[in-house]
Chains A and B, each alone.
Chain A
């Protein structure tokens, strides 16, 4: 006899192991939510957890139903106060976490624990809506395994007293499920959303906006947040060629440049010329509909359009990481014809202000009758005069262009682009500011270009009849290193402004191995985004086409079922290890006994007890065999009713007697 012999009624209370893992799981589940739930929830959680632990230690009772109702109502109200509503994803998740926390106080029976565990799984799923990076995904394995351990602990008998063994078992179950999960992940059809749901609000998204005051871009220049990653199908073009267009800002109100109010959605007239570049981009959520592409970009994706100002735009804002494929013709001829009205739009200037610049434009006009020559002259002016490229530009007054061009002469790309377009327009040349990103960091490990917010850039396009739009970049004249090597290189002296905090790996680019590590990590992230997060409808279709020739769901379904069966069969084989199976030794002896008698013409029927078998055949047995058989059966029954395990030696000897 040992301890396990003491048996226990299946009770309704929660086993200790399960409770331990539930508390651990709850911590692990809530951690990723900390960033986007109201802070008071953490206080509520600590309070509830402390209460529950005291209940377990029998120091305090469970709360009664009034307390519970009051807690529920006040928590709901508090969520409403801090989120402004009870609908919307943020509020829903806050409510879910609240329920998850409060359920702790109500947890008495196994059923309550089950509810808590299922709520936990659901909370893990919602955490993916806010963060779906590689680290977040790897992290989420922890709460999932802890929840599984809690679920497992609920089923264990009270003799199982080692929480770590339960965890080990949970991890093993987790690992065994992975092959089947991969199969389902790849083959399960990705459906279109069934209905639209509130999307997670991006917390403080930075990025280009629809209007630009010179200082804005300088602010953006201080953020090292990722804007997008681009992977080229061929070689990566030179950095100075990478002008990622986002939008055009044709309208000037005297201080800031902004988008056109009556932007046409019809595709502008253009002719593809020269070599095409093909690439795919994964952009981070921007909350804006516009996409990034090299000029002139086009995409075959149904929800992407080329707008009349040559920007690519999606039908809905990009609220989640978004992947698209685009093709660009850098040498294309763009809009060789413009109507009078369109030309007029690109000549718009405020009625008054910046008189000095307007005069200077007239002087230039006289000096260079040809438009192209005037542009060249203007660029030369930026190149030769003492202009400085800096993030720390002085604040400018009412006539900002005048001040910048003639007195301060210090500024960021937006200052140069704005001033140049103003001058061109004053000289009668249709032109506009283009906002986007320039350059990016080439990741050799992953063969892609990574563009950050500080790569934001503004440049200039002017229009010529028959030649269409041409891009020029005044910043290149002032700080060519900005275009050739990137903004970090160009602003070495002001590095502290945009390199992020002390711990940011960007700060240590000069240390080779850290840089190498960072590049590899970013490359891994890129693969994660394209291969895993980007595995949506289009990608799945492409992938399935590659493997199955065509996307025929019947075939794929059959394949899914068959390969799932194969995986399960392998796992089950591995679980049961039939090659190791040993039959019950006692049963072997009985089988042997049956065989011996069968050879002599006595067959035991299925389900027939040995004794009734004996009674049936006794009369027919030869006289000499009777004692041996009787003795065997008697011994066998003795063994059966014995209080200890059977003595096989005695039985074998009795069997040998029969065989004689």
Chain B
């Protein structure tokens, strides 16, 4: 229905909606949040009831009257059931999974129920892409809503649509909620231009040196984390049943890889993209590296957390925090 509206009323509707349902991080759906309208199925149902009533009148058949009235009452009552199937449900933002520009990240949505089962709740960005989930009583469920990363930085989630047609599909209760969710979008990595940084100073050499030195300076074992190189896993410990442990090495301060924004030529975005690809590439190895952005140095370090820090810094370079 909304899609069919021409742009002006739609804009007006969006403004009105923004006033009525301002962005919040957590919302418990209540009367003023929920809209309810009959569906096409509901109209078809009403149409068949009219036919049945005509049969009842023309044949003066009490049972036909009774069934028609029963179904009419039932249809009417499902309006409240449908409404109730949204009312009281708590929606909240539950973080997001960052992505690169052009790829798909996701917003995480948490649905909490209290006291009541919520069945067949559909959430999504618009009416055509909805996912169904049930929220049994006193539980919380999560939904991942994917979205394309469009621009580097914080990406605001559009208003999300939550709707339900349960139980009979005669009515649809819906709401459009702005959970003020943000998605961190990393720059688009430019893998083809890796050579540009490789030609920088004596990094190529020191990379080699660093690697061999790093392996030698064995410091101890720490628990494995996703993203840690498989090559560093202490397989002996694992075979003894001590769990996955990773060998840790001292970092060689002098001969480490420095990825410096200011050393790169070209436009800002291009430089960020190149750095992004670099960071990703280096993190595949056990190489310790640091990222230097104007006025900000990250690292040196390695591993997943370090990578995340670097990517985040790249994504937010020159972007004011929301």
Residues on A lying within 8 angstroms of B by beta carbon are 1, 4-5, 7-10, 114, 118, 121-122, 124-126, 128-129, 132, 136-137, 140, 144, 148, 151-152, 154-160, 169, 173-174, 176-181, 184-185, 188, 190-191, 193-197, 199, 320, 532-536, 568, 571-572, 575-576, 580-584, 586-587, 606-610, 637, 640-643, 645
Contacts and interface: CB of A to CB of B under 8 A. Distances in A.
Interface string B233-257: 0000000000000000000000000
Given A173-B81, A193-B60, A160 B119 contact: yes
B264 interface: no
Interface centre among B58, B63, B71, B131 (most CB of A within 10 A): B63
Interface in B20-58: 22-26, 28, 41, 44-45, 48, 51-52, 54-58
B78 A587 contact: no
Contacts of B132: 7-10, 157-158
Contact of A532 (B45, B52, B62, B95): B62
Q: How would you classify the secondary structure of chain B's contact residues: helix, strand, loop or mixed?
A: mixed
A185 B51 contact: no
Contacts of A136: 63
Contacts of B84: 575-576
30 contacts: A4-B141, A5-B133, A9-B129, A10-B131, A10-B132, A118-B44, A122-B52, A125-B56, A129-B55, A132-B61, A137-B66, A144-B70, A148-B74, A148-B168, A157-B134, A159-B133, A176-B74, A177-B71, A179-B73, A180-B69, A180-B77, A181-B66, A185-B69, A194-B58, A581-B88, A607-B24, A608-B22, A610-B25, A640-B26, A641-B95
A571 B79 CA distance: 12
Nearest to B123: A7
Given A174-B70, A640-B25, A188 B65 contact: yes
A155 B166 CA distance: 6
Given A132-B61, A173-B77, 14 more contacts: A10-B130, A10-B131, A114-B44, A122-B51, A126-B55, A144-B67, A156-B119, A178-B70, A178-B73, A194-B57, A196-B58, A320-B59, A572-B80, A581-B115
Contact of B134 (A4, A179, A581, A582): A4
Contact of B76 (A140, A180, A320): A180
Give chain B's interface residue range (CB within 8 Å of chain A): 35 or more
Contacts of A7: 131-133, 143-144
B283 interface: no
Contact of B165 (A9, A132, A137, A155): A155
Given A155-B168, A169-B167, A125 B67 contact: yes
B308 interface: no
Q: Which 4 A-B pairs have the closest CB atoms?
A: A607-B22, A180-B73, A7-B131, A177-B74
B108 interface: yes
Contact of B119 (A125, A132, A157): A157
Contact of B169 (A122, A154, A184, A575): A154
Contacts of A637: 25
B64 interface: yes
A576 B31 CA distance: 13
B133 A582 contact: no
Contact of B80 (A10, A197, A575): A575
B80 A190 contact: no
A384 B72 CA distance: 68
A157 B62 contact: no
A152 B22 CA distance: 34
B90 interface: yes
Interface centre among A125, A128, A191 (most CB of B within 10 A): A125
Contacts of B19: 607
A111 B93 CA distance: 34
B63 A181 contact: no
Interface string B160-183: 000001111100000000001000
Given A126-B55, A177-B77, A587 B67 contact: no
Contact of A155 (B51, B52, B141, B167): B167
Interface string B134-155: 1110001111100000000000
Given A155-B169, A157-B133, A194-B58, A125 B80 contact: no
Given A114-B41, A160-B119, A185 B66 contact: yes
Interface of B: 19, 22-26, 28, 41, 44-45, 48, 51-52, 54-74, 76-78, 80-81, 84, 87-88, 90, 92-95, 108, 110, 112, 114-115, 119-120, 122, 129-136, 140-144, 165-169, 180
Contact of B26 (A178, A181, A587): A587
B76 to A, nearest CB: 7
A107 to B, nearest CB: 16
A587 B104 CA distance: 32
A230 to B, nearest CB: 21
Contact of B52 (A121, A158, A642): A121
Contacts of B72: 181, 184
Contacts of B144: 7
Given A568-B80, A645-B112, A586 B58 contact: no
Contacts of B76: 180, 568
Contacts of A156: 119-120, 166
Nearest to B88: A581
A584 B26 CA distance: 10
B22 A606 contact: yes
A534 B65 CA distance: 12
Contacts of B165: 155
Given A10-B131, A128-B63, A5 B141 contact: yes
Nearest to B179: A640
B168 A584 contact: no
Contacts of B140: 645
A302 to B, nearest CB: 15
Contacts of A10: 122, 130-132
Contact of A176 (B65, B77, B129, B133): B77
Contacts of B74: 148, 173-174, 176-177
Contacts of A576: 84, 87
Contacts of A534: 62
A645 B120 contact: no
A185 B144 CA distance: 48
Interface centre among B69, B81, B95, B122 (most CB of A within 10 A): B69
B57 A151 contact: no
Contact of A643 (B28, B90, B108): B108
B60 A152 contact: no
A159 B134 contact: yes
B172 to A, nearest CB: 10
A148 B77 CA distance: 14
Given A118-B48, A643-B94, A609 B69 contact: no
A126 B23 CA distance: 53
Contacts of A169: 167
A367 B95 CA distance: 118
Given A118-B44, A194-B54, A536-B60, A609 B134 contact: no
Contacts of B130: 9-10
Interface centre among A1, A534, A645 (most CB of B within 10 A): A645
B109 to A, nearest CB: 10
A4 B136 contact: yes
B71 A155 contact: no
Contacts of A8: 131-133
Contacts of B55: 125-126, 129
A169 B78 CA distance: 12
Contacts of B64: 125, 128-129
B115 A173 contact: no
Nearest to B65: A185
A575 to B, nearest CB: 6
Contacts of A176: 74, 77
Interface centre among A10, A195, A532, A575 (most CB of B within 10 A): A10
Nearest to A115: B44
B86 to A, nearest CB: 12
A156 B74 CA distance: 18
B69 A181 contact: yes
